[in-house]
């Protein structure tokens, strides 16, 4: 799960990580109230969307007066912001952050994330702040300093010192950086973050360290114990069909093709998308209906797949294990009858009671194209999609 | 022979009185798995599954009184990490954690504990492990397997069944099939499993089923290239997965580097493994690889 920059900064402040003063605003009026409250003449007006690259896309601008805040807020709220992370459709700006302008002397990068290979969290800093870290990693990897944190011991002071030395800091800034790094790790741990990034972390003209940005990813599996974080979820940033699927306990991701698919199990669902592509089609979605695949889940799955008007044919691919194929077949027949589908449906059922299931489909009277094996299923559904 | 579990494994089921635990413990007993104990704190002294399995308050009690050496965990995500730690410190040598949704911060700590204690953890978020006709420790349908000489390693559940089905269709049975799980941090890696299969005299060839995300398949392939004497073939799911999206499994996400399906398939090929372009080719590819020995 992601949160907005202003929400990330609220989390930072709770953990003692210093940020510039800022106030979120959802309207032009609120932007002006925020400006008055901040009391500094020059402020930064920052679009709040769940994607990076906002500055380059025109979503972050300086305002030198109340009047400029007003015109910028009018311009930004409701505009579609396109960055390298939003995709070509962009995202509508619905929230702003009005923030005091900081006096930037140097820009750094700081982040904590999981190193899957080392099976430990890694804390990275770089003197190259404000730019894409992937680029730094590729071109000048020596400019990134890393420490790996023992999960049972936690972060140690010498590790924080290594990071601060890596940024060539001295004096007060050195001390503040160490304190911030230790607080960042504590914050990362206590919020169940899977990524925490500050880009840029800055050194101010008067020798202080400040978090000028915030980026978080939180572990979805840990939200049960992170109520404050899960309350920050902004549903308007997510695909409405994916949210609805989540309400049915289905795992759905919309794609751009026209062949819908419904599969039990995430790995098999990916492999089904892949074989549709190999057969010359384009998958319209990823949909994992989970281990049970009852009549109800099949029904809900159909509703979600077919709400995408590009879908010209649907492939149901179920490998029955504990779930019996004859039950799934009954569910499919029932759903097709109820929903009165107008797209061809190819069904491949394998595993427990597969033969009985084929018989049920044949006798049902509904127009279902049976398939044997994944190759056959993919070829049939792609052909059906072309014919429709 | 086989890897990790066999007919002598004495199994304790953690969370045996929950609905999942009840159902699958019953299925495992029917397969012939030697389930000697169940654990549900507060229900010690009872017996379950038609009085066939005694219930204990702790894994420690179960181990002391029944000699259990293997455990399978069906407890909800908030408690799963602690269940693994309890098993590990109670002297269990193989722990299978079926639970999906364990927080990754918990798993990072758990991994360190099982490594220190020398416990083989399989999972979490996995279908389990089956040594054909001897011991089923998981939620997979046992009847699809056939005894034979192929080892199967997979990150996925139903995709593992698909692979096993294809193997059986070309006349290849299995020694042990192991679903290692789809989370970012898991107990036993693909490389760990390859090593075990290499050492197992009954296993003559291995199928690995991977997916996008992480470097595990690559690590396994490089190890196989340098060390493995038996043929290995692989399939990677997620060629059409969009970058940055989590495809069902918590660990199935393309986040830059060599973690795309394309990159993994290329590297597997470079390491001399047979690579199935299509999921439908797994059985045939393994069959061809076995003919060449």
In A, which residues are within 8 Å of B165 by CB distance?
319, 350-351
B101 touches chain A (CB under 8 A): yes
Task: In whole angstroms, give the CA distance from residue A94 to residue A372.
Answer: 49
Residues of B in contact with A220 (CB under 8 A): 246, 250
Apex CA A169: angle with CA A168 and CA A174, to 5°? 145
pLDDT of residue B255: 65
Which pLDDT score, from 0 to 100, does residue B67 have?
A: 97
Nearest neighbour of A116 by CB, restricted to B143, B154, B184: B184
Nearest to A192 among B105, B157, B256 (CB): B105
Query: Residues, chain B, total?
Result: 293
Annotated catalytic, B249?
Answer: yes
**Selection from A213, A284, A148, A168 nearest residue A8 by Cα:** A213
Residue by residue, pLDDT tens for chain B (293 residues) are 689 998 999 999 999 999 889 999 999 999 999 999 999 999 999 999 999 999 999 999 999 999 999 999 999 999 999 999 999 999 999 999 999 999 999 999 999 999 999 999 999 999 999 999 999 999 999 999 999 999 999 999 899 999 999 999 999 999 999 999 989 999 999 999 999 999 999 999 999 999 998 899 999 999 999 999 999 999 999 999 988 777 777 676 666 667 899 999 999 999 999 999 999 999 999 999 999 87
Q: Among A351, A311, A302, A304, which Cα is nearest to A331's?
A: A302
Quick one: pLDDT at residue A234?
Answer: 93
Q: Is B142 on the interface with A (CB under 8 A)?
A: no
Residues of chain B with C-beta less than 8 angstroms from the C-beta of A319? 158, 161-162, 165
ipTM rounded to 2 decimals: 0.89
pLDDT at B250: 66
pLDDT of residue B194: 97
Q: Write out chain A residues lying below 8 Å of B248, CB-based.
A: 251, 265-267, 269-270, 286, 288
Cα B200 to Cα A125, B2, B121, B195: the distances in Å are 45, 6, 19, 9
Closest CA in chain A for residue B161: A319
How far the first Cα of chain A sits from its last, in Å, is 38
Q: What is the pLDDT of residue B165?
A: 94
Task: Report the residue count for chain A.
Answer: 388
Whole-number pLDDT of residue A388: 55
CA distance B48 to chain A (A): 21
Residues from chain B that touch A121, judged by Cβ atoms under 8 A, are 108
C-alpha closest to that of B105 among B76, B78, B140: B78
Q: Which residues pair with A107 in a beta bridge?
A: A202
Contacts across the A-B interface (CB distance below 8 Å):
164
Residues of chain A with pLDDT under 50: none
A325 within 8 A of A334, measured Cβ to Cβ: no
Q: Which of B24, B105, B120, B249 is catalytic?
A: B249
Q: How far apart are CA A297 and CA A302, in angstroms?
A: 9
- Chain A nearest-CA residue for B241: A270
What was the pLDDT predicted at A137? Answer: 81
Interface test with A, best of B28, B99, B162 (most A CBs within 10 A): B162
Distance from CA of A226 to the nearest CA of B (A): 11
pLDDT of residue B7: 93
- Tell me how far apart the alpha carbons of residues A72 and A45 are, in angstroms, rounded to a whole number: 7
A117 touching B, CB under 8 A?
yes
Report how far apart, in Å, the C-alpha atoms of A53 and of each of A25, A202, B122, B237 are: 20, 18, 40, 30
Among B208, B164, B161, B157, which Cα is nearest to B182's? B157
Helix (H) or strand (E) run with residue A63 in it:
strand A60-63
Q: Count of CB atoms within 10 A of residue A93's CB?
A: 19
Alpha carbons B72 and B10: distance in angstroms, whole number: 11
Contact call for B154 and A267, based on CB within 8 A: yes
Q: Which pTM value belongs to this model?
A: 0.91
Of B109, B157, B214, the CB nearest to A116: B214
Contacts by A67-72, CB closer than 8 A, 24 or more apart: A69/A31, A69/A32, A69/A35, A69/A43, A69/A45, A69/A98, A70/A28, A70/A31, A70/A32, A72/A31, A72/A45
């Amino acid at each position: 799960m992601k949160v907005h920059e202003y929400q990330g900064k609220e989390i930072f402040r709770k953990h003692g990580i210093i940020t510039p003063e800022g106030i979120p605003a959802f309207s032009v009026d609120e932007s002006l109230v925020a400006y008055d409250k901040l009391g500094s003449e020059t402020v930064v007006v920052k679009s709040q969307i769940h994607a990076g690259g906002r500055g380059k896309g025109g979503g972050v601008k300086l305002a030198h007066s109340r009047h400029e805040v007003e015109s910028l807020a009018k311009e930004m709220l409701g505009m579609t912001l396109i960055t390298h992370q939003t995709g070509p459709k962009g995202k509508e700006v619905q929230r702003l952050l009005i923030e005091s302008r900081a006096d930037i002397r140097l820009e750094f990068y700081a982040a904590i994330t999981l190193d899957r290979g080392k099976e430990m969290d890694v804390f990275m800093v770089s003197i190259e702040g404000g730019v894409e870290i992937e680029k730094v990693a590729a071109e000048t990897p020596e400019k990134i300093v890393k420490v790996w944190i023992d999960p049972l011991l936690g972060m140690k002071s010498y590790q924080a010192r290594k990071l601060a030395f890596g940024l060539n800091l001295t004096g007060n800034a050195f001390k503040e950086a160490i304190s911030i790094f230790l607080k960042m790790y504590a914050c990362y741990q206590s919020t169940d973050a899977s990524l925490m990034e500050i880009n840029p972390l800055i050194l101010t003209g008067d020798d202080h360290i400040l978090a000028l940005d915030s980026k978080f990813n939180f572990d979805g599996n840990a939200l049960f114990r992170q109520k404050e974080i899960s309350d920050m979820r902004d549903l308007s940033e997510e695909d409405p069909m994916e949210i609805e699927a989540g309400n049915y306990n289905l795992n759905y991701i919309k794609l751009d093709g026209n062949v819908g698919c419904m599969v039990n199990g995430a790995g098999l669902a990916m492999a089904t998308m892949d074989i549709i592509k190999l057969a010359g089609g384009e998958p319209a979605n990823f949909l994992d209906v989970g281990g049970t695949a009852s009549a109800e889940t099949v029904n809900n799955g159909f509703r979600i797949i077919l709400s995408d008007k590009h879908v010209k044919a649907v492939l149901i691919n179920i490998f029955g294990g504990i779930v019996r194929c004859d039950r799934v077949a009954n569910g499919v027949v029932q759903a097709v009858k109820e929903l009165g589908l107008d797209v061809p449906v190819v069904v491949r059922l394998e595993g427990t009671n597969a033969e009985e299931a084929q018989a049920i489909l044949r006798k049902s009277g509904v127009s279902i194209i049976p398939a044997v094996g994944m190759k056959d299923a993919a070829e049939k559904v792609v052909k059906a999609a072309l014919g429709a | 022979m086989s890897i990790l579990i066999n007919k002598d494994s004495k199994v304790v089921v953690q969370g045996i009185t929950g609905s999942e635990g009840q159902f699958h413990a019953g299925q495992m007993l029917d397969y012939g798995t030697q389930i000697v104990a169940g654990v549900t704190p507060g229900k010690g002294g009872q017996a379950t599954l038609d009085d066939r399995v005694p219930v204990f308050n702790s894994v420690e009690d179960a181990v002391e009184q029944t000699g259990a050496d293997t455990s399978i965990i069906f407890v909800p995500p908030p408690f799963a990490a602690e269940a693994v730690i309890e098993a590990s410190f109670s002297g269990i040598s193989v722990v299978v954690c079926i639970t999906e949704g364990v927080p990754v911060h918990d798993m990072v700590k758990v991994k360190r504990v099982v490594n220190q204690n020398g416990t083989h953890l399989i999972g979490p978020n996995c279908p389990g492990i089956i040594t054909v006709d001897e011991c089923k420790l998981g939620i997979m349908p046992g009847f699809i397997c056939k005894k034979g000489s192929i080892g199967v390693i997979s990150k996925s559940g139903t995709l593992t069944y698909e692979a096993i089905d294809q193997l059986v269709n070309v006349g290849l049975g299995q020694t042990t099939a192991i679903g290692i799980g789809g989370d970012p941090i898991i107990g036993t890696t693909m490389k760990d499993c390859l090593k075990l299969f290499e050492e197992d005299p009954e296993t003559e060839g291995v199928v690995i089923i991977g997916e996008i995300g992480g470097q595990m398949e690559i690590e396994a392939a490089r190890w196989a290239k340098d060390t493995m004497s038996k043929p290995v073939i692989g399939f990677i799911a997620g060629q059409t997965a969009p970058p940055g999206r989590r495809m069902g499994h918590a660990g199935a996400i393309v986040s830059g580097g060599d973690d795309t399906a394309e990159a993994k398939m290329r590297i597997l090929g470079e390491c001399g493994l047979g690579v199935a372009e299509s999921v439908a080719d797994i059985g045939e590819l393994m069959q061809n690889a076995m003919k060449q020995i």
